[in-house]
Amino acid sequence: MGLINFIKKFWENDDIVMADDINRWEDGIDNVATGLNDHGADTVRHITNAERVAWNSSTSVATTAPLADNATAVVGTNATAARADHRHPHSFPYGNRPTQTVTWDVNPSTHAVLNALANGESVRILVAASNAALGAWDSASAGVITRRASGDWFMEVWRQRTSAANPVAWRIWQGGAWRAWSFPMLTSALSTVNPLAPGTAAPGTSANVARQDHRHPLQTTITGNAATATALAANRTISLTGAVTGSVATNLGGNASIATTQANLATATPLAPGTAAVGTGTRVAREDHRHAAQTTVSGNAGTATTLATARNINGTSFNGSANITTANWGTARNFTIGGTQRSVNGSQAMTWTLADIGAAPASIATDTGWQNIALASGITAVANRTPQARRVGNVIHIRGAVNGSGASVGTVPSGLRPVGQAHGYVVGSLIVGGGGSGTINQVQVTNIVVTIATGGAMTITNVGGSFSNLNLQTSYFNS
């Protein structure tokens, strides 16, 4: 709004109105309109100084702790303002549930209110006055039980008095039972001073507790010469008593030896042999002691020529009057010859037969007569000369001749075969090959060997083709 230097007031009817006057009036109207518009747009509340003083005197800040949360919300009636950094006590989502009075070992899974809690919901509790695990707690200790998301319960209780050693305790219900109590805090403050050096033992008076990693200073001073002692301040006597005696006075500045004396060595002559007895003496015999010779005996022990009662030695009676030869060796022993075992104790002669030891008899008179030899495939007997074997005594006789081809001739009957080793023999020469005697392609073979195995198999060697009139005659011992 512009400044008007000259303002005419109190106009008369015959005053002359000039152009400047009209312009001045219009400027005034414009200034008033601008001021009204500015005032209408101003949103700040303007007060007078008196109003300001009255306002300031009617406002004060809180000097008491904020109230704890309550289940029921209220506007409040206090005119004091809360401070910007105020803090309300800790609260839990108790809802509208009333405080439950429970015992220390309440089973939340069967308690109507506790079991009805949803996961994360809590309820205030009052518990009994004492518990063995917690000691004597004040009457009606307060706490809270919360159902956890895992489906178990968490109990936390607080002591009423502030001087309690463990003002807070909690535990968890799991697996159908409460677990052990835990104490998350202590009322005693942690130490802030260095631990004391070792000295006179005392329980102490401080209410603070030592930190887990505290360390006391080293002990650097002691009384006497204990820190560097190489000997005792005064000699001491070390004595031995009992069966061995002796003593020495020493300050232990070096090694010490004690001259000892055996206190209970025998001083009397050893007793002569007699009736056996434990004895009652308290002394010990010397290493080189000697008992008196025994000069008398009872009965005939001193001049006996025979035993009072004979004794058997390996089955033979002996009284000492003469030498003896025992009837047996005492303990029997087993002897095996061939395939036969016999128990021998020397009390009698023992024999083994040839049959016992598996040997053939010296002579066998039996004649088995001629028995046919079983011919192999492709082998035929020469007319009137059938291959046969016969046993007369210990000798086996073979006769006959064959035609055919191949190395296998036949098998000798059982009982007529060689014993121990095979029997081989040379049969002379043999015409091999061709269609008959004197024909082309016939070959005369010499040194033809016939072998009879212990199993009875009869074979020939040195024959390469077919043959005729092979003479098998031979003899051998069967033993």
pLDDT band at 437; cut points 50, 70, 90: very low
Q: What is the DSSP letter of 376?
A: P
The whole-number pLDDT of residue 163 equals: 46
The whole-number pLDDT of residue 44 equals: 79
CA–centroid distance for 156 within its chain: 41
Burial of 221 (0-12, 13-18, 19+ CB in 10 A): exposed
**pLDDT tens string 175-230:** 889 888 776 655 556 778 888 888 788 878 876 777 767 888 877 777 666 667 78
Instruction: Give me the amino acid identity at 457.
Output: A
The whole-number pLDDT of residue 201 equals: 82
State the sign of the Cα–Cα–Cα–Cα dihedral 349, 355, 359, 364.
Answer: positive
The whole-number pLDDT of residue 359 equals: 64
pLDDT band at 370; cut points 50, 70, 90: very high
Find the helix or strand (DSSP H, E) in which 312 lies.
Answer: strand 311-313
Q: What is the DSSP string of 406-443?
A: SSEEEEPPTTSS-SSS-EEEE---EEESSSSTT-TT-E
The whole-number pLDDT of residue 144 equals: 87
User: Using CA atoms in the order 57, 61, 63, 65, what is the torsion angle rounded to 10 degrees?
Assistant: 150
374, pLDDT greater than 90: yes
The whole-number pLDDT of residue 376 equals: 92
CATH number of 371-477: 2.60.40
Bridge pairing between strands 100-101 and 122-127: parallel
173, pLDDT greater than 70: yes
Report the C-alpha gap between 318 and 324 in whole angstroms. Answer: 7
Which candidate, 415, 363, 413, places its Cα nearest to that of 393? Answer: 363
Average pLDDT score over the chain: 78
Mean predicted confidence (pLDDT) in 80-97: 63
**pLDDT tens string 286-324:** 888 898 887 777 666 666 788 888 998 888 898 888 998
Instruction: Give me the amino acid identity at 477.
Output: F
Quick count: other Cβ atoms within 10 Å of Cβ 17? 10
Across the chain, how many H-helices and E-strands are there?
A: 4, 29
5, pLDDT greater than 70: no
Report the C-alpha gap between 66 and 252 in whole angstroms. Answer: 77
88, pLDDT greater than 80: no
Q: Any idea which residue has 């109590």 for tokens?
A: 181
In angstroms, the first-to-last Cα distance of the chain is 168
Phi, psi of 375 (to 5 degrees): -80, 150
Q: Name the residue ranges covered by the structural domains of the chain.
A: 100-178, 326-357, 371-477
Report the C-alpha gap between 38 and 40 in whole angstroms. Answer: 5
Find the helix or strand (DSSP H, E) in which 32 lies.
Answer: helix 19-41
CA–centroid distance for 108 within its chain: 41
CA–centroid distance for 401 within its chain: 85
Contact between 101 and 157 under an 8 Å Cβ cutoff? The reply is no
Which candidate, 181, 174, 189, 190, places its Cα nearest to that of 159? Answer: 181
CA distances from 180 to 134, 183, 184 (A): 11, 10, 13
The whole-number pLDDT of residue 92 equals: 47
**pLDDT tens string 125-163:** 887 656 655 555 555 577 888 888 777 888 887 765 444
Burial state string for 383-410 with b = 16 or more CB within 10 A and e = fewer than 16: eeeebbbbbeebebbbbbbbebeeeebb
Which candidate, 161, 97, 149, places its Cα nearest to that of 123? Answer: 97
Report the C-alpha gap between 92 and 146 in whole angstroms. Answer: 9
Contact between 447 and 422 under an 8 Å Cβ cutoff? The reply is no
458, pLDDT greater than 70: yes
The model scores a pTM over 0.85: no
Instruction: Give me the amino acid identity at 231.
Output: A
The whole-number pLDDT of residue 308 equals: 84
The whole-number pLDDT of residue 7 equals: 62
Contact between 191 and 210 under an 8 Å Cβ cutoff? The reply is yes
State the sign of the Cα–Cα–Cα–Cα dihedral 116, 120, 121, 126.
Answer: positive
pLDDT band at 438; cut points 50, 70, 90: very low
The whole-number pLDDT of residue 253 equals: 85
CA–centroid distance for 58 within its chain: 82
Report the C-alpha gap between 131 and 128 in whole angstroms. Answer: 8
pLDDT band at 387; cut points 50, 70, 90: very high
Contact between 119 and 147 under an 8 Å Cβ cutoff? The reply is yes
